[in-house]
Structure 1
Amino acid sequence: MKQVTVGPDSVTPEQVIAVARHGARVELSEAALAAMRASRSIVDSIERDERAVYGVSTGFGALANTFIEPARRAELQHALIRSHSAGMGDAMPTEVVRAMMLLRIRSLAMGRSGVRPLVAQSLVELLNAGITPWVPRHGSLGASGDLAPLAHCALVLLGEGWVRAADGRRIAGAEALATAGLAPIALASKEGLALINGTDGMLGMLLLAIADARHLFTMADVTAALAVEAMLGSDRPFLPELHEIRPHPGQAASAANIHRLLAGSSIMDSHRDDLTHAVQDAYSMRCAPQVAGAARDTLDFAVQVAARELVSVVDNPVVLPDGRVESTGNFHGAPLGFAADYLAIAASEVGSISERRVDRLLDVARSRELPAFLSPDPGVNSGLMIAQYTAAGVVAENRRLSVPASTDSIPTSGMQEDHVSMGWSAAHKLRTVLANLSHLLSVELLAACRGLQLRAPLAPSPAGAIAVRRIAEVAGDPGPDEFLAPILEHSRSLLVGTELRTEIEAAIGPLA
């Protein structure tokens, strides 16, 4: 997807990803331009009537009852952007800022914000020129939307603020505009508020997280299957008829993945009728679909919330087609904050059960005749002992990050904004949990492949053979200890990328 057209009806999650991660160009549709012109005409009529309307002719927040003279209303909008550009901390990733900008364009294009088309088009030009405002990590409480992060974006439109250069340096917004051949704009009444009052930052992070979680949850089935195979586990708990009697859709999908991944394994066949094996595998093996499946269902809930938000008007005040300008609470990020917190809890548990399988693979008392720590020469060599330590530390961090942010409201603005969502924080920590999950699954991928190698001459499943071959490109065969960090990085690149999954699916069919 190289071009995204933004109309008054919304954008899709795929379009957000295309702009945020792949640099797709953006344009406004004629319908969007018409919708913005119509809503702006209503604001212009209010200006002529000199009515007291929040955001048009009054101050903001606790200053909402302060009437602003017409001659100072443009000044008011510029002052708003400057004062709200009060973030601190490291810069947010480029993909988050680009997603946030596209979603603000989407909101303005719906024709409920009362801005001139020029304002939305100026944001479009920033995206197409590859200009990424420097948006600090801290500043948003998730109500009234993502005020500070969006203000840092808007400030660049004025030829002020900071921009993140391609090499990570911070440069002046005026310099970035001049280099790109763009000119600063001057804001009219209502436009400053419309640029910053919305849930675009937390929604952008949630959409990016959803895309990442969807892939990681599938790869969690891959690593679980490889671990079960390496530990001489049973494939019977993954039979479809056992999941039809508990009809959670995510559980059925996960079980079907694992069952197909284990098919065609000589390792599995070697012990299928061996009565010396346990009648039941440990929970971390047998209950993999129940945990990963519940996470999939949680992901589906987050997808539904994000889809609703993508078609929502989240500005305040909003300009209605009948000429009314009404204050709303639609900027409150509670729906997104709850979804992000819920998904973080689910993703954390997917990582937790993965680490338990790693620990079992490494424990000579429980791994069913695999050598201690998956080293052919344990004692002199420690094998993957410390990789499990690393995984345990990551699991502990994810547990801390699973504490909900959305229950931690702090009142602001002289008690006018006395309950906030913390949706930005919830979405930000969700992304951290998912990054941590990728580390945990990559440890399991390496450990499971090492276990499969140690089962030779028995041949693994087709999926296992592919994974072992790709891991061995860097890790080689089991042997003396080596510098482990680069091997773990290789495992993670295989896990988060698409090549390993694509090769496995070419061999056994698509995975859910």
Structure 2
Amino acid sequence: MDRLSPFDFVELCCGGKIKLSRSEEKAVERGRAVLEEAIRSGGEYYAVNTGVGALLDRRIPPVKMLEFQENLVLSHACGVGKPLEECIVKGMMLHMILNLKSGYSGIRPETLELLVEMFNRNIIPVVPEKGSLGASGDLIPQAHIALAMIGRGRIFRMPYATCSTIEEFDRHNLRPVKLQMGEAIALLNGTSLMTSLMAFAVVYAKNLITTAHIAAAMSIAALGGNHEAFDFTPQKWNRRVYRDVSADFIRFLLSSKKQHFKDEAGIKNKRQKPYSLRCSPRVLGSFLEALCRYVWPVVSDEINNFSGNPEIFLESEMVAQGRDNFHGQSLAQAADALAVVLANLSGISERRIDKLLNGSAKGLPSFLMRSSGLNTGLMIVQYTA
């Protein structure tokens, strides 16, 4: 798999299949060999042969290494709340596969192969929605994926119905994996839930902004907006690229109504129109700017970045510790930015709804109801907005 865009990511989650290339398989094999050699050489590596968190100074005896793997998964699989949507869990699985196939985590090929099989066969673990630590990555949600891989937990059978993991594995002739040294932390550490949520969010946002332009153009047409507000020649040094893109799109959508504005609205259409109409390109363009220049690139990078710790460098055969790959700050800031511009988009939309319903527009009765009083029309719809 080459570098994935958010569109590619979402498309794979909605029915796509994964097949590792031979070079990816070799990278996984090499990463595992580097980790095993580092342990044989007597090195001490966090969460591989040491405890975690406040117990990081506790060395795990070699004879307890396999038991430690299972204990780590079981202790971290403590999420609460409603199950995440299946598509979001598939996104988590996909992001974990993207991380593990790099060879930087030290996972064994057979462990990764099981996760790929689960993804391709739509065997989706039940993952509670609450538990992500953000600053410490998605340890708890990812632990629920690992829980299924060792034969524990539950699997979605159909919408709103689940079954035991073992029952679903038997249906597909699959067997749980017995995690070996270092594999638990490889599966738990990362930003897979945050990345999955944001990948879907930015794809939905790109679809939404198209719909928002269409809704704006329809409102402008219905309210007799001035077409010339979107038909301008900018000053020489003005650079509002995304505002101009938005204005061009609204002008295109209104092009079939241009004659109507000229013939019927006449001179009245030359007046200054409400901000919610004539300033639509500024608000919608600002949304596009935040999405395309900031949020989308951040999410694209995180989809393709390695987010684990420890991190294996294949060329130098070094196992690096204390990395910050798992920290969710960049995604959190992008999510906050997206939330702000979504709120602004909603705000201007609500103001146009008010203009359509308040009875001030020529030809549009209050609440779009001719017999108002007996029927409230769309009054309460505007309250909801």
Q: Provide TM-score, normalisation by structure 1.
A: 0.72
1:427-451, CA deviations, whole angstroms, 9 ceiling, x for partnerless residues?
Answer: xxxxxxxxxxxxxxxxxxxxxxxxx
2:4–2:300 contact (8 Å) kept in structure 1: no
Match of 1:184 in 2: 176
1:385 and 2:382 correspond: no
1:416-467, CA deviations, whole angstroms, 9 ceiling, x for partnerless residues?
Answer: xxxxxxxxxxxxxxxxxxxxxxxxxxxxxxxxxxxxxxxxxxxxxxxxxxxx
| In 1, Cα distance between equivalents of 2:115 and 2:174 | 11
- 1:36 is aligned, of 12, 28, 51, to 28
1:11–1:106 contact (8 Å) kept in structure 2: no
| In 1, Cα distance between equivalents of 2:5 and 2:50 | 35
Q: What is the aligned-residue RMSD (CA, Å)?
A: 1.6
1:150 and 2:145 correspond: no
1:42–1:319 contact (8 Å) kept in structure 2: yes
1:164 and 2:161 correspond: no
- 2:12 is aligned, of 14, 19, 27, to 19
Deviation at 1:240?
A: 4.4
Count of residues in Structure 1 that have an aligned counterpart in Structure 2: 381
1:318 and 2:314 correspond: no
Gaps of 5+ in 2: none
Map 1:176-215 onto structure 2 (within 5 A). 176-215=168-207
Match of 1:345 in 2: 340
| In 2, Cα distance between equivalents of 1:323 and 1:25 | 31
Paired-residue identity, % = 34
Which protein has greater RCO, CA pairs closer than 8 Å, 6+ apart?
A: 2
1:91–1:136 contact (8 Å) kept in structure 2: yes
| In 2, Cα distance between equivalents of 1:355 and 1:218 | 17
1:55 and 2:47 correspond: yes
Deviation at 1:196?
A: 1.2
2:28–2:109 contact (8 Å) kept in structure 1: yes
| In 1, Cα distance between equivalents of 2:236 and 2:246 | 12
Output the amino acid matched with 1:170: T
| In 2, Cα distance between equivalents of 1:199 and 1:243 | 45
1:54-109, CA deviations, whole angstroms, 9 ceiling, x for partnerless residues?
Answer: 12211112211111111111211111111110001110001100011011000001
1:309 and 2:302 correspond: yes
Map 1:256-295 onto structure 2 (within 5 A). 256-265=248-257, 266-275=259-268, 277=269, 279-295=271-287
1:160–1:174 contact (8 Å) kept in structure 2: yes
2:100–2:112 contact (8 Å) kept in structure 1: yes
1:173-208, CA deviations, whole angstroms, 9 ceiling, x for partnerless residues?
Answer: 111111111100011111110101001111111111
1:197–1:315 contact (8 Å) kept in structure 2: yes
Deviation at 1:113?
A: 0.5
1:229–1:267 contact (8 Å) kept in structure 2: no
Output the amino acid matched with 1:317: P
Distance 1:271 1:245, change over 3 A: farther
What SS class does the counterpart of residue 170 from structure 1 fall into? Answer: strand
| In 2, Cα distance between equivalents of 1:48 and 1:190 | 13
| In 2, Cα distance between equivalents of 1:350 and 1:65 | 50
Output the amino acid matched with 2:381: A
Distance 1:25 1:51, change over 3 A: same
What SS class does the counterpart of residue 63 from structure 2 fall into? Answer: helix
2:38–2:319 contact (8 Å) kept in structure 1: no
1:240–1:255 contact (8 Å) kept in structure 2: no
Deviation at 1:286?
A: 0.9
2:98–2:304 contact (8 Å) kept in structure 1: no
Deviation at 1:121?
A: 1.0
Match of 2:325 in 1: 330
1:40–1:115 contact (8 Å) kept in structure 2: yes
Distance 1:313 1:122, change over 3 A: same
1:378-414, CA deviations, whole angstroms, 9 ceiling, x for partnerless residues?
Answer: 23232211111121xxxxxxxxxxxxxxxxxxxxxxx
Map 1:394-473 onto structure 2 (within 5 A). none
Deviation at 1:245?
A: 6.0
Deviation at 1:269?
A: 2.7
1:54–1:317 contact (8 Å) kept in structure 2: yes
1:232–1:267 contact (8 Å) kept in structure 2: no
Distance 1:49 1:24, change over 3 A: same
Match of 1:374 in 2: 368
Deviation at 1:14?
A: 3.0
| In 2, Cα distance between equivalents of 1:90 and 1:344 | 22
Q: Which moved more, 1:223-232 or 1:172-181?
A: 172-181
- 1:355 is aligned, of 350, 356, 359, to 350
Q: Provide TM-score, normalisation by structure 2.
A: 0.95
1:109 and 2:97 correspond: no
Deviation at 1:369?
A: 4.1
| In 1, Cα distance between equivalents of 2:159 and 2:345 | 35
1:237-283, CA deviations, whole angstroms, 9 ceiling, x for partnerless residues?
Answer: 111424886422221111111111111215323345324x5710111
- 2:227 is aligned, of 230, 235, 248, to 235
Map 1:242-253 onto structure 2 (within 5 A). 242=234, 246-253=238-245
2:357–2:367 contact (8 Å) kept in structure 1: yes
| In 1, Cα distance between equivalents of 2:62 and 2:285 | 58
